[in-house]
Amino acid sequence: MVRCFVGYLLPDGVKKEIVDLQNKMGEWPLLCKMVERENLHINFSFLGEIDENEIKNISEKMDAIARGLGKIEIEVDGLEAIPSESYIRVLALSVLDNRGMLKVLFEEIKKHIGGDSKPPHVTLCRVRGVKNKNELKEKLGAANINHISLTIEAIQLIKSDLNRAGPVYSIIHESKFA
């Protein structure tokens, strides 16, 4: 069995900007675990534990989806608290899909591959606790997030190996868009 998801690992230039933000967040009144630089991604569908025999089938379905789509232009902008500011489990960057193509991609993945899809976002950290809610709300409201434009060029089947230090991601298959 292999634990995996369909997603897109972010390019290095985008990762640098996000890590700069994470470093600033290190001073916020949070008990959290930041997502490692190499693991920054957009998740399209969490598949969980799949049989290794399913990898070829999933890869073929990804290839078919990618052939029907072109590169997807998105914007990463704005900080969001998930599920809400009053009960924060995750801090993430919003992903804006101005042309609606990301929505089409999500629908195709859900229809042909399945899994658990959430609204697109880039997870910054997983929150274990908040030291001072009022101060954190101020920090969230005052956070100056650099607008990042990004082109998604492929969908990737990503393996997630869990260990004590956190997950280690590796790309099993990549389907480039037409």
Per the model's pLDDT, the better-predicted residue between 24 and 61 turns out to be: 61
* pLDDT beyond 90 at 97: no
Note whether 6 and 152 are within 8 A (CB).
no
Q: Specify which residues 28 forms β-bridges with.
A: none
> Do strands 87-96 and 121-130 pair parallel, antiparallel, or not at all (unpaired)?
antiparallel
What CATH number has the domain bearing residue 24? 3.90.1140.10
* Percent of the chain surpassing pLDDT 70: 100
Note whether 127 and 113 are within 8 A (CB).
no
Ranking 43-52, 112-121, 167-176 by mean pLDDT, the lowest is 112-121
Domains of the chain: total: 1
Q: What is the mean pLDDT of residues 75-86?
A: 84
Residue among 132, 175, 137 at smallest CA distance from 155: 175
Full domain range(s) for residue 34 = 2-176
| 0.95 surpassed by pTM | no
